[in-house]
Amino acid sequence: MKKQIKKGRYTLLILLSMIAVSCSTSYPPAPVNPIPSADQVAWQELEFYGFLHFNMNTFTNIEWGYGDKAPDIFNPSELDARQWARVAKEAGMKGLIITAKHHDGFCLWPSAYTEHSVKNSVWKDGKGDVIKELAEACKEYGLKMGVYLSPWDRNHADYGKPEYVTYFRNQLRELLTNYGDIFEVWFDGANGGDGYYGGANEVRKVDKLNYYGWEETYKMVKELQPNAVIFSDAGPGTRWVGNEHGFAYETTWSPLLKDSVYGGMLEYSKRYSMGQENGTHWVPAEADVSIRPGWYYHTSEDDKVRSLKSLLDIYYYSIGRNSNLLLNFPVDTRGLIHENDVKQLQKLTGQLKEDFANPLAKNKSTQASNVRGSSSTYGPSLAVDGNKETYWATDDGLVNASLTIDLGEPTIFNRFLVQEYITLGQRVKKFKVEAEVDGNWKEIANQTTIGYKRILRLAPVKATKVRLTIEEAKDSPLISTIELYNAPVVVDEPFISRSKDGKVNLETPEEGVAVYYTLDGSEPTTRSKSFKTAFTVDTPTIVKTFSFDPQTKRKSDVISKTFDVSKAYWKVTDTKGKTYINQAIDDNNKTDWTTDKKMLDNYQIDLGETELIIGFTYTPTQRKYAVGIISNYSFYGSIDGKRWVQLAQGEFSNIEANPIAQKVQFKKPFKAKYIKLKSNKVTDTKEKIIIAEIGILTK
C-alpha cells in the first residue's frame, strides 16, 4: 500500500508539472526530459550498497572460471550470510547484490535447469541454497537484495545457440520468483569467448546486440519484479560507469543515448559511459569497484585491501559525482567477508561520519538573485532546510542565477555538497562556488554537472558567506540541497615507491607528518626508524610503514610492500645483443613501454646475474583507457640467452576490465639469467602492446 501511495504522489507531481506553466510561475517547473521513474529515484536514494563476489572461483583461486570444474569443489566451511548483512548494515549500506551465477556457469542456488550448481556440491550435502540464506539475512537486517546473473556461460553446451537464451531466462525466472523482492538485476557486459561449453572446449562468439533478445528479457524482469532496476551498459534502469576503479566523471549526466548502446560494446567506456547532455533516456551511472585488487578472494591479496584514502577517493568520486556506489567484497573460502576487508570498511564509515557530522549551512539565512513564485514555495531557504523534497527554483528560462548563504560569522569549511531536484530532470551544465573572505568574494570551485548529488572536497576556507552561481543550465535550475562541512584531516598512509637503482622512498602529502618504517617484517611504531631520505633495498624485503601526526596524535594504518630483487643491473636486449632503455623494468608502474607482438618476441631481459626464479609479474599499462593489454601469455627462461625453456603459459583473466598487476608462479623453480615474456593474445584488435612493468619472483 505504501509503494502504491508513493507512486501515486509521484504521478500526481508529474501531471501537475505538465500544466501550462506560462500562466503563473506559482506552478511547478515543467520537467526537462528525460526524467527518472519513481523506481529510479528510489534507487538513486540508496546511494551505497555492496557487491558479493562468491562462487566456484573463490575455491579455484581465479577471476574467471573456464566452466570445467566439478561442483564438489564448492565447499565453504563457515558460510554466514548474516555476517555479510551485518557488515553491510553497520557500514550504512542499503543493500547487497550477489553473483548468483558468474561466467563459469556455477549456480549458487539449486537450479532445476542445470547440474552445475550447489545441489551437486558437498556443501550441506547438496541441500544448501546461498541465495535463500542471503535473502533471509537481508530481510533480518532491513537490507535490499539484488542478483547478478551472467549472460555468458562458459559451462553450458548450448551457449551461442537459441536454446541457451531460453535456459538463461528460465534461471532468471527462478531467481526473481523464489527469493522475495529484488531491488536490482545485474547483467555483465562480458559475453562470448573461450570456454568449456559442455566439453567442446572452444571459442564461441555471439552477436552482443541481438543474441539475448534483451527487450524480452527486460520485460520479463519488470513483470516479475516491478520495482527492480536493471543494470547493464545500456540500462535500462542504471548503467555501468565505464571502469572498475569506482570513479564517475567530473561531468556525469544521468541521461544516456540509450539506443546507441548495447552490453559489451568496445567503444562504450570512451563514448557513452559519462552520459550525454542530450541523452534520450534516464539511465543513471553506477560505479562498481572491489575493495581488493581482484573481484574474487585470493589469499595473496589479504594485505592489499584498499587504504582509507583510496576508499575515500572512491566515495567522493562516485556518490560525489552523480553516481551510486557498488563496493565489492570478495567473500573468502570460509564463506565470510574477510576481517581485513571489514576493518577497512569500518574505517571508511567512521571517517565519513566525521566528515559529515556537523552541517554548517542548515537553516542559515539565504538570498537568491531570482525566485520563482513565492519564497515560501521556491525560495532559497528551501535549499538549506534539510528536506530534499523542497527546492529553490527560478523563473522559466532563467538559467543564470545565484544563491547566497550567510553563515553569520567567519566559518571554516572544506566540503561543499549540492543536489538537484532530479524528479524533474537534470539541468545544471556549469556552476561555481564563491566564498566571502574578509569582505571579498573569492572563487573556490568551478565545475560542470550536479545531478542527484555533487560533493566537492576543497582546501579549508574561512568564510562569512558562500555563494552558488549556476552559470549554465538546460532550464531553470532546481536546487534541493546545499550543505557545508568541515571534515577533519585524514592522515594518509605513506606511498611506497622504489626506483630502478633500488632506492625506496616513503612519501606522504601532509606537511609536518612523520613517517616510521621497518625492514625486518616487524610492525613499526613511533620508536621505529623515522624516514628522512631514500634508502636502498636490492634483495627480497618487506617494507612496513605508517604516518603519524604529532599535533593530533592521529596515525594512519600500517601498510606494507614486498620488494623482490632490484632491477639496478637489468637491461633489455634484442637477439643481436643490442641494449635498449626500457620503461618496463624501471620499477615504476606509471611509465609504459610500447611495442608490438613481433618486436616483443625479439626482446629478452638480461637480469645481470643468474637468479633462482619461482615466478614472474606482469603489470599492464595503468592509463585511464587501457589498451594493448596481454590477455594470453607464454613466459620463458634461459641461462645463456640462446636455449629457452617455457616456464608458464596461460590466461590473465578479466585483465581488460581490471588491469592490475598479475602474479604467476611456476610449477618448480628455475635458474635463469635471461627471461622473456611473449604475447599470445592482446585484448583489443590492434597489435600494439603497452607494458607498465615486468618482474620476477624469487621468494
pLDDT in tens, 454-497: 999 999 999 999 999 999 999 999 999 999 999 988 888 899 99
Distance CA 328, CA 634 (A): 31
Residue 526 confidence (pLDDT) above 70: yes
For residue 508, what is its C-alpha cell? Answer: 606522504
Of the candidates 387, 383, 342, which has an alpha carbon nearest to the alpha carbon of residue 364? 383
**Contact present, 295 and 186 (Cβ < 8 Å):** no
For 365-485, which CATH superfamily applies? Galactose-binding domain-like (2.60.120.260)
Q: pLDDT (tens digit, 9 = 90+) per residue, 643-685?
A: 999 999 999 988 876 788 999 999 999 999 999 999 999 987 6
CA 246 to chain centre: 3
Residues 316, 318, 320, 321, CA torsion sign: positive
Q: Show the beta-strand stretches assigned E in 138-272.
A: 144-149, 184-186, 193-195, 202-204, 229-231, 239-240, 255-256
Q: Which helix (H) or strand (E) holds 638?
A: strand 630-638
User: Which residue type sits at 478?
Assistant: L
pLDDT (0 to 100) of residue 512: 78
DSSP H/E element including 6: helix 2-17
Question: Could you tell me if 160 and 206 are in contact, meaning their C-beta atoms sit under 8 angstroms apart?
Answer: yes
33-56 pLDDT, tens digit per residue, is 999 999 999 999 999 999 999 999
Beta bridge partners of 504: 498, 535
Task: Output the CATH code of domain 38-355.
Answer: 3.20.20.80
The whole-number pLDDT of residue 24 equals 44
Q: What is the pLDDT of residues 347-397, one digit of tens each?
A: 999 999 999 999 999 999 999 999 998 888 999 999 999 999 999 999 999
| Residues 6 or more apart whose Cβ sits within 8 Å of residue 351 | 308, 312, 490
Average pLDDT over residues 559-578: 91
pLDDT score for 43: 98
C-alpha cell, 498:
622504489
Please give the Cα distance from 433 to 361 (Å, whole number).
14
Phi, psi of 168, deg, nearest 5: -60, -45
Q: What confidence tier does 508 reach under pLDDT thresholds 50, 70, 90? A: confident
pLDDT at 171: 98
> In sequence order, what are the beta bridge partners of 467?
404, 434
* Percentage of the residues of the chain whose pLDDT score is greater than 70: 95
Residue boundaries of the structural domains of the chain: 38-355, 365-485, 495-563, 571-697
Is the pTM here over 0.75, yes or no?
A: yes
Strand (E) positions, 378-477? 392-393, 401-420, 428-437, 440-447, 454-473
Structure-block grid coordinates of residue 422: 532530479
pLDDT for 596 equals 85
Angle at 19 (CA atoms; ends 16, 23), nearest 5 degrees: 125
| Average pLDDT along the chain | 93
pLDDT at 549 over 90: no
User: 2: pLDDT confidence band, cut at 50, 70 and 90?
Assistant: very low
C-alpha cell at 262: 548495447
For position 10, what pLDDT does the model report? Answer: 58
pLDDT value, residue 300: 76
Strand partners for 458: none
What is the third-level CATH fold of 495-563? Answer: Immunoglobulin-like (2.60.40)
What count of other Cβ atoms lies within 10 Å of the Cβ of residue 508? 21
pLDDT-derived band at 1 (thresholds 50, 70, 90) equals very low
Residue 338 C-alpha cell reads as: 574477510
DSSP percent split of the chain into helix, strand, coil, nearest 5: 20, 35, 45
Q: What is the pLDDT of residue 50?
A: 98
Compute the distance between CA of residue 627 and CA of residue 623 in angstroms, rounded to an integer. 8
* CB hemisphere CA count around 50 (13 angstroms): 29
Residue 278 has pLDDT above 90, yes or no: yes
- Say if CB 128 and CB 77 are below 8 A apart: no
Distance CA 42, CA 3 (A): 11
Contact 165, 113 (CB under 8 A): no
| Domain 571-697 coded CATH 2.60.120.260 | yes
pLDDT band at 7 (very low <50, low <70, confident <90, very high): low
Question: Are the beta carbons of 447 and 250 closer than 8 angstroms?
Answer: yes
Q: What does the pLDDT look like over 214-266, one tens digit per residue?
A: 999 999 999 999 999 999 988 999 999 999 999 999 999 999 999 999 888 88
Which pLDDT band holds residue 5 (cuts at 50, 70, 90)?
A: very low
What pLDDT is recorded for position 13? Answer: 53
Confidence band for 103, pLDDT divided at 50, 70 and 90? very high
Q: What is the pLDDT of residue 23?
A: 42
CA distances from 540 to 114, 204, 503, 544 (A): 48, 43, 13, 13
Tens digits of residue pLDDT in 597-625: 888 888 999 999 999 999 999 999 987 56
3-state secondary structure of 664: strand
Specify the pLDDT at position 15. 52
User: What's the rounded mean pLDDT across residues 129-146?
Assistant: 98
Long-range contacts: 535-539, Cβ < 8 Å, 24+?
535/503, 535/504, 536/501, 536/502, 536/503, 536/504, 536/566, 537/498, 537/502, 537/504, 537/563, 537/566, 538/502, 538/565, 538/566, 538/568, 539/565, 539/566
